[in-house]
Amino acid sequence: MSGNYGYENQNLIKGLKINHEKPQVLTYINERGLINFNLDPKEKLKNKLIPYFNIQQVNDDYLVCTDAWDEIRGLPSIFSIWFSVILLIISSSLLFFLFYALFKNEISFALIIGTFALIGSTYLLIKIFNISFGRELFGYTHYPLIFNRKKQELHYFEPYQKKWISAPWSDYHFSININENHEYAVNASLIDQNEIIQQVVVFPFRFRSLSLVEGHWEFFRRYMAGEDLEKLKNNIHYYAPNVIDRKEIARETWFRLKLLRFSERDYFTDQVKLPSDFNLNLLIFGIPQFLIRRLCVRTSKTPQVPREWIN
């Protein structure tokens, strides 16, 4: 799974118009096409239920889970740090050249180009912070979804606006879309009177199998429809750390990375296998992501969940 905390959904989904005449197509305002499958909250599907590994807490009243990008937490910052270091080196060199030219009173075309390059690199550093570091470093430890079936509400902490999206379950339009990475995802959209999407809540599982993503939707649909909780729990084979009021500890971080990033999961048989190159990948890629993820967790704050949603 790729993506940066809903960035592609901000660009591809928000601003779309629901097309009821063609149930597998959303109409984009500026004529960009997007495949979409509308979902009916009252229609029961026979797919295998796929709760995934993001559920933190579930009871008869509410279900809390992490966002769809929890497993890549740390990766955007790794790439951003490397890119930022390169930009800082370039910026420092340009700044030194600029001061040197001013000291020598030498104004040239190269100096003008260097000045614009310095401004551009500074702008890129600011964008990197807003897009990546602002979501991971000095952001929030996670971006939870809360399905309150007692009150029939869905709440989501949006990573870009850093605010809660909250509405009755019946106010959402549900659909499955395929993004630019050819991954299917369930979206719960709030639309205006013209049926233009204003807000998007992304369910915590994205995959290249439409059948599996439909099974993911069906698990949450049945939960909100009031299906027996014990039957639904039989499909949950792994819970995410329950970090509603605390931060993820190192042992939990390491286990999450091993499970989500470096293991092979068969969702039809519910088996988790270790690939032959597991130890090598864990050493080369796992340790850097673990260290950055720990830094992200330590520098971030936990989102404050309103108590009336989980009581």
Among candidate residues 65, 284, 26, the one with its CA nearest the CA of residue 154: 65
Rounded Cα–Cα distance for residues 120 and 159 (Å): 26
pLDDT of residue 13: 62
pTM: 0.79
pLDDT of residue 22: 61
The residues pairing with 156 across neighbouring beta strands, listed in sequence order, are: 145, 165
Rounded Cα–Cα distance for residues 160 and 277 (Å): 36
Which two structure tokens, joined as six digits, stand for 220? 């949450």
Which two structure tokens, joined as six digits, stand for 179? 């993004």
Which two structure tokens, joined as six digits, stand for 60? 């008869």
Q: E strand or H helix at 221, and its extent?
A: helix 210-224
pLDDT of residue 109: 62
Residue found by looking up tokens 């959209």 in the block = 189
CA distances from 236 to 220, 240, 247, 265 (A): 12, 10, 23, 14
* In contact, 146 and 306? CB cutoff 8 Å: no
What is the average per-residue pLDDT within 276-288? Answer: 75
pLDDT of residue 79: 77
For residue 195, name the pLDDT band (cuts at 50, 70, 90). Answer: confident
Higher local confidence (pLDDT), 108 or 127: 127
Detail the DSSP E strand segments found in 48-195: 55-58, 62-65, 145-148, 153-158, 163-168, 173-178, 184-191
Among candidate residues 210, 190, 208, the one with its CA nearest the CA of residue 200: 190
Q: Residues 11-46: pLDDT tens digits? A: 456 655 666 666 655 554 444 445 677 888 999 999
Rounded Cα–Cα distance for residues 205 and 52 (Å): 7
Q: Judge whether residue 300 has pLDDT over 70.
A: yes
Higher local confidence (pLDDT), 167 or 279: 167
Average pLDDT, the chain: 80
Residue found by looking up tokens 């915590």 in the block = 204
What is the average per-residue pLDDT within 96-114? Answer: 67
Torsional sign, CA 236, 240, 241, 246: negative
Rounded Cα–Cα distance for residues 5 and 256 (Å): 17
User: Which among 70-79, 111-120, 221-230 has the top mean pLDDT?
Assistant: 221-230
What is the average per-residue pLDDT within 56-78? Answer: 86
DSSP 8-class letter at 132: I
pLDDT of residue 31: 43
Contact residues for 206 (Cβ-Cβ < 8 A; gap 6+):
1, 3, 68, 179, 183, 184, 185, 213
Rounded Cα–Cα distance for residues 214 and 216 (Å): 5
For residue 194, name the pLDDT band (cuts at 50, 70, 90). Answer: confident
Q: Residues 164-179: pLDDT tens digits? A: 999 999 999 898 887 6
Calculate ∠ Cα 304-310-311, nearest 5°: 125
Residue found by looking up tokens 């910052």 in the block = 77
Long-range contacts of 276-285 (CB under 8 A, 24+ apart): 282/257, 282/258, 285/261
Residue 230: how many CB atoms within 10 A of its CB?
7
pLDDT of residue 237: 86
pLDDT of residue 63: 96
Q: Residues 154-166: pLDDT tens digits? A: 999 987 778 899 9
pLDDT of residue 28: 47
Q: Residues 123-145: pLDDT tens digits? A: 777 777 666 666 778 888 888 99
What is the average per-residue pLDDT within 98-123? Answer: 69
